[in-house]
Amino acid sequence: MEFKLYHLHPAAVHFPIAFLIAGAAAAGLRLRKAAPEWLAKAESWLLWLGTLSAWATLGLGLLAEKTAPHRALAWEVQAEHEEFAWWTCAVFSALSCLRLFAVKNGRDEGKVRVAQALLWVLGLGLLISTALHGAELVYGFAVGVGTP
């Protein structure tokens, strides 16, 4: 198989998915009363790495949009995929900033904790929607992989 620049996007998508799902799992485990201290650091780093990799993946997706062969029937799904990706990055960026504020100021409880939990849920929903639209582009329309 010949390497194409637009192949970088589907290779990169696995990083934000893995980091952010693992970060959400760490956040969920931290809700227990006897959660170990290291889970807070794990949640933070997984969130921050996931957010950075999500932005990088979005950038590679925009590059793929310009360089991959297009399928006219897939344009609507592709537009929705891109919109969900922007929203996903925005929500996880907001959560990353809130998490940084909580860590730096020692305010990782109460309303701040509730806000973080809500952003985790919203972000994961958007992440899943983005991934499902991407899967539809690949498996439903064969965008970037050959003849449908």
Q: Within the chain, what is the greatest distance between any pair of CA atoms? A: 54
Token pair for 44: 């933070």
Cα distances (angstroms) measured from residue 17 to each of 111, 124, 132, 148: 27, 9, 12, 26
- The reported pTM is 0.93
CA 115 – CA 10 distance, rounded (Å): 31
The secondary structure of residue 5, as a DSSP letter, is: G
Amino acid found at 46: L
Mean pLDDT per 10-residue segment, the chain (148 residues): 87 97 96 89 97 98 91 93 98 98 89 95 98 95 74
CA 99 – CA 20 distance, rounded (Å): 13
pLDDT for 29: 94
Domain locations in the chain as residue ranges: 5-141
pLDDT for 51: 98
